[in-house]
Amino acid sequence: MKKLFLTAALLPIGAGAHAACAPDYSGVTLTVSTQNGPFIASALKTAAESWEAKTCGKIELVEFPFSELYPKFLTAMNQQTGDFDVIGFIPAWVPDFAPYLSSMPVEMQSGDAWDDIHPVYRERLMSWGGEIKSATMDGDMHMLNYRADLFEDADNKAAFEEKYGYELTAPVTWDQYYDIAEFFSASDAVKFGTAEAYRRGGQQFWYFFSHAASYTNHPDQPGSMFFDPETMDAQINNPGWLKALEDYKSGLDFNPPGSLNSGSGDVRPLYAGGSVAMNIDWADSGVMGATEGTIKGNVRTAMLPGSTTFWNSKTNEWDTFDEPVASPFLAFGGWQLAVPSDSKNAEAAWSYVQEVISPEVSGKAIVTANTGVNPYRFSHYEDLENWSSVFTEEEAESYLGAQRASLDAPNVALDLRLPGFFSYTEILEIELSKALAGEVEPQEALDTIAAEWNKLTDQFGRENQLAAYRASMGLPALN
């Protein structure tokens, strides 16, 4: 068998022009699949070009609508068809996919390029069952984006402080966020206060989770946000989640009309085009605002607002903290790559994965429009010069600082990862949409979700689900 020589993939693009086919994958064609481009797919295509030039192998990129990825990948791997050599997918699917994935070669799990990946991704989201099953190629979390021209305007600052009694600046609590949204919605400075996604199928539930983390991800009770980590009973109908849903719904008053039909792709141009003072989104809004919109030079980014109160599921009481606790939510968690165990070209496939995630190739992807690739390496956050084609210095410092601070936050909240993820979130979105539309009361919707989640847990096997949930939350196995 050919000796694995992955380090060659870390050479800068073009550096191997004088050394033909190193490593040599002549005659090898890899089938790589992910969602329809340009987001993510374009980054994989660019990496394919450099990998092909180095190795003399070939990449066939197959794209599907996002909604088709999960069933296509799972069916192919379950039936051992060997259809895919590399798959691009989301961390929430790892529990279902892990039994069918090969483990990352040990040669890739050391060295400067490995240590450069932020530990939240490297140690938490790339690992399952004690093995590295996937490679992060995109860092994702929800953040607050706001406009410097509005927030720093002297008249706005004076009027805001006169009305609310404190300084206009990036909000550190959700109460402040809604004060600011209310203020700008009523002002002549901008059309609307904020923009969030509310549409079923438009990343709705991740926005809801971002609100809920600030009331349910108790700093002293790790893993208690979604389920009781001792019993696996659903927690989604407790008062912390109710507060989050009431907050999330109240924000509709400060969003543009028709926002119940807005997905995440709709909130970005609203911010970039200057129609709103703020929005909640992934890092894509910042790049769009700085490169394609009308607010160039005024893009600012902050961690999600936090809270001074958290629901204590042990005592069934609210706990109050002296200062706001930030609980930034790693919504979605970023795209990942993996090599199915039925791939006939696993060695070459992992070589291609390493090319995609290398500091050199990924460093170009994060500053290239429409790749959908956001920072996940220390070098991505620290190389301000790399961002000069996208941001002003002030914008870059704000944008990168907010992401790094979110990852480093002591109470950072990880996204839900659980076998049957789609089944849980489908129930959630159905009832959540009813509550947002006023068809049912928020508590009724949450009670229904909790009851259905508990049924699903029993159907999947409570002990297995509990073990998987604890693993995804970084908790040790129960004795």
Domains of the chain, by residue range, sit at 25-133+336-372, 143-331
Pairing state of beta strands 278-281 and 143-147? antiparallel
CA-to-CA distance for 195 and 321, rounded, in angstroms?
Answer: 29
User: In 250-367, where do the E strands start and end?
Assistant: 278-281, 299-302, 307-312, 317-325, 336-338
pLDDT at 364: 96
CB atoms within 10 A of CB 388: 12
Pairing state of beta strands 336-338 and 135-136? antiparallel
pLDDT at 30: 98
The 10 Å CB-count burial string (b at 16+, else e) for 11-24 is bebeebeeeeeebb
CA-to-CA distance for 307 and 440, rounded, in angstroms?
Answer: 27
Q: Tens of pLDDT along the chain (479 residues)? A: 333 334 444 444 444 443 589 999 999 999 999 999 999 999 999 999 999 999 999 999 999 998 899 999 999 999 999 999 999 999 999 999 999 999 999 999 999 999 999 999 999 999 998 999 999 999 999 999 999 999 999 999 999 999 999 999 999 999 999 999 999 999 999 999 999 999 998 899 999 999 999 999 999 999 999 999 999 999 999 999 999 999 999 999 999 999 999 999 899 999 999 999 999 999 989 999 999 989 999 999 999 999 999 999 999 999 999 999 999 999 999 999 999 999 999 999 999 999 999 999 999 999 998 898 999 999 999 999 999 999 999 999 999 999 999 999 999 999 999 999 989 999 999 999 999 999 999 999 999 999 999 999 999 999 999 999 998 998 999 97
- Does residue 155 sit in helix, strand or coil? helix
Pairing state of beta strands 86-89 and 29-35? parallel
- Asked if 390 and 375 count as a contact pair (C-beta separation under 8 A), the reply is no
pLDDT at 19: 56
CATH 3.40.50.360 assigned to domain 25-133+336-372? The reply is no
Q: Which CATH class is domain 143-331?
A: alpha beta
Q: Is the pTM of the predicted complex or chain greater than 0.75?
A: yes
Domains 25-133+336-372 and 143-331 share a fold: yes
- Asked if 127 and 333 count as a contact pair (C-beta separation under 8 A), the reply is no
CA-to-CA distance for 302 and 270, rounded, in angstroms?
Answer: 18
The 135-136 sheet, strands edge to edge: 58-64, 29-35, 86-89, 336-338, 135-136
* CB proximity list for 39: less than 8 A, separation 6 or greater: 370, 371, 372
Burial (CB < 10 A; 0-12, 13-18, 19+), residue 206, is buried
pLDDT at 4: 39
